[in-house]
Structure 1
Amino acid sequence: MNSQKNYFELFDLPVGFALDSGVLAERYRALVRALRADFLSDEEDETARSLARIDLAYQTLTEPLARAEYLFRLYGVEGTETGGDDDPASTTLVEEMERQEALVAATNRSDPGAALSEVLTRLAERGAALDKELHQLFADPTPHNLGAAREVVRQLQGLARCRRETEERQAELLRPRPA
């Protein structure tokens, strides 16, 4: 296996955010099968390293935010860490604070389970819209679009954090209370 190939080349896929997960899974299984056959040879260490790289590549390309971060690295764009006050991430911070306020309000409603479900629905709808926008931006990876994609990834990361917290609060509601 050529360790110089990027993850997309490894699976013989075009470089881009949009990909066919079925094709990716099929090619992953084919690569793993081929390498496992090599495991019987004298080069077990090299085969193990190749399998580990294939697994990392598969996990990266399977998860949309990890795939976006990988594409940023391939295109030579800085990651999604936040910057100063003039940084677009400050807008994301305001949105995240608003989501947190909505989460607290939902928890304090008379039926917090239903309210938290509504929050999750809104998060999923917003996430789907952002995912669609991210597909469009990566379809034409100009410097401007990659900058905009970086901001969309920041927003998706905030949504993911809020979704996890909302799910944790829902789980707390379902836990039996000690008598």
Structure 2
Amino acid sequence: MAIEQNYFILFELPQQYQVDTALLSERYRALQKTLHPDRYAHKSEREQLQAVQASAHLNEALATLKSPLRRAAYLLSLKGVDTDVSHQTVSDGAFLMQQMMLREQLDDARHADDPFEALEELLEQLQGSEAELQQSLESQLQSDDPAVLSDALDNLRKLQFFDKLRHEIERVEDELDDL
């Protein structure tokens, strides 16, 4: 296995946003049986190193394709789009306003009569917004048009905001469970 191999080719999956995760897991297990470094324990040092590198590549490929956010970023990178969002921000004012309102709802949920119900409602609202963005992103990732791919990158950034908010909701739920 070439460790620079495209992750979709590695798992013999179509290069698209939607992935059959059961098939991905099945193909991972089959490849892992073949490539696991323990199978190379009695081989030369070079072969052992290659097995470790191949296994690391396989694990990175699995983690990337299992995660919708990482998968979208990977697909964009395959199309030549710089997905390093550390120096880029979302400029959509309506989206940023929505984020502020969602964060206010999160703060309000902590003090609600039934905080778990308030958090559940917030999570449902978040999932609806995420589903819309993911649907747009899936369509955009099929394009090779730079303007469309730029929009896809914007949607990826927005999904990252939602992902962070989801983790914060889970953290608040854990804090409330501990009380």
TM surpasses 0.5: yes
- Alignment-mate amino acid for residue 173 of structure 2: Q
Does residue 58 in structure 1 map to residue 58 in structure 2? Answer: no
> How many residues were matched structurally?
174
Cα distance, 1:90 vs structure 2: 5.1
> 1:122 aligned to 122, 125, 128, which one?
125
Distance 1:27 1:130 in 2: 29
Q: Which residue of 2 aligns with 1:8?
A: 8
TM-score by length of 2: 0.86
Q: Which residue of 2 aligns with 1:32?
A: 32
Cα distance, 1:175 vs structure 2: 1.1
What pairs up with 1:5-154 in 2 under 5 angstroms?
Answer: 5-36=5-36, 38-40=39-41, 41-42=43-44, 43-79=47-83, 80-81=85-86, 83=88, 88=91, 91-154=94-157
Cα distance, 1:27 vs structure 2: 1.6
For 1:53-76, what per-residue CA distance to the aligned partner results, in whole angstroms no more than 9, with x for missing partners?
100111011101011111121111
Unaligned runs of 5+ in 1: none
Distance 1:109 1:27 in 2: 46
TM-score by length of 1: 0.86
- Deviation >6 Å, runs of 4+: none
- Alignment-mate amino acid for residue 162 of structure 1: L
- Percentage of matched positions with identical amino acids: 33
For the structure 1 residues 83 and 89, does the alpha-carbon distance in structure 2 shift closer, same or farther, using more than 3 Å as the test? farther
Q: Is the contact made by 2:3 and 2:53 (CA closer than 8 Å) also made in structure 1?
A: no
Task: Calculate the aligned-residue CA RMSD, in Å.
Answer: 2.1
Unaligned runs of 5+ in 2: none
Distance 1:89 1:157 in 2: 14
For the structure 1 residues 58 and 83, does the alpha-carbon distance in structure 2 shift closer, same or farther, using more than 3 Å as the test? closer
- Alignment-mate amino acid for residue 14 of structure 2: P
